[in-house]
Structure 1
Amino acid sequence: MGGLKIALGSDHGGFELKEKIKKYLEERGISYHDFGTYNQESVDYPDFALQVAEAVRAGQYDRGILVCGTGIGVSIAANKVPGVRAALCHDVFSAKASREHNDANILTLGQRVVGPGLALEIVRVWLESEFTGGRHERRVRKITSIEQKYNL
């Protein structure tokens, strides 16, 4: 897990949780880049979701973590980038399944939905979980083919 490189971002509604996640990553020696925002002034979540999603898609980072008030907005925005599989997780089971079954490369969280203790446990499980392949590989390929269908 320590070898992972994480792209991290939030809007103002997820800033506090993002700062806690940064500390968590630092304590574990996990490399990250904070794409912002850097304070609680109102900003537009698609701007940060796009930066993180493009960095993950380009292979500059292994995975990404995005936080907004609900986690919904950043998830929708990040999933517009081909090759991104952003999963909104509010529980540990979903976090584990999103990696093992869906090969999710971006985790999205809602600061106003999940408390910081649970959020950090979700991050831990998500970072430790790996894609299991097998029958799930076929399904992930089908997701990729849907993206390709609409990329003109």
Structure 2
Amino acid sequence: MSRVNHRDTLLTDLRELQRRLRLLEAAKVAAKPAAALALPPTRPVDWPATTSPDWEDLFDATTRGGVLELRWTAEEGTTGSVRVLLDGSQVGGELTAGAERGTDTVPIAGGAVSVQARRTSGTGLVRVAVFLTA
């Protein structure tokens, strides 16, 4: 911002623009629904993965409700299971992960959401990508 009785310079103009952009970005983030998360990566190799035989969290969020879009797969020769938990209780059934990609949508009420996966056979990775919409 310019000082009183001083002429604006390019530097003061730039600082003012930057200040306004920061305010706009902060307002945009504050107005964004809590449940809106970035799209998952498109390549399965970039998805979160596990080799654990025990349930492992691959996604955690707190939401006011919405729809989870799940995508899962397992490496060749490996199978696994995927499940969705809402406030610690399983929502829907377990999904079986294999070499073929699977997709499903799960409507959820508000609360703490976790997507877990585990390897049930083989030595490879079980991968899961999650997209949450409000």
Calculate the TM-score normalised by the size of structure 2: 0.28
Greater strand share, structure number: 2
Higher helix share: 1
Structure number with higher relative contact order (C-alpha < 8 Å, ≥ 6 residues apart) = 2
Which of the two has higher C-alpha Rg? 2
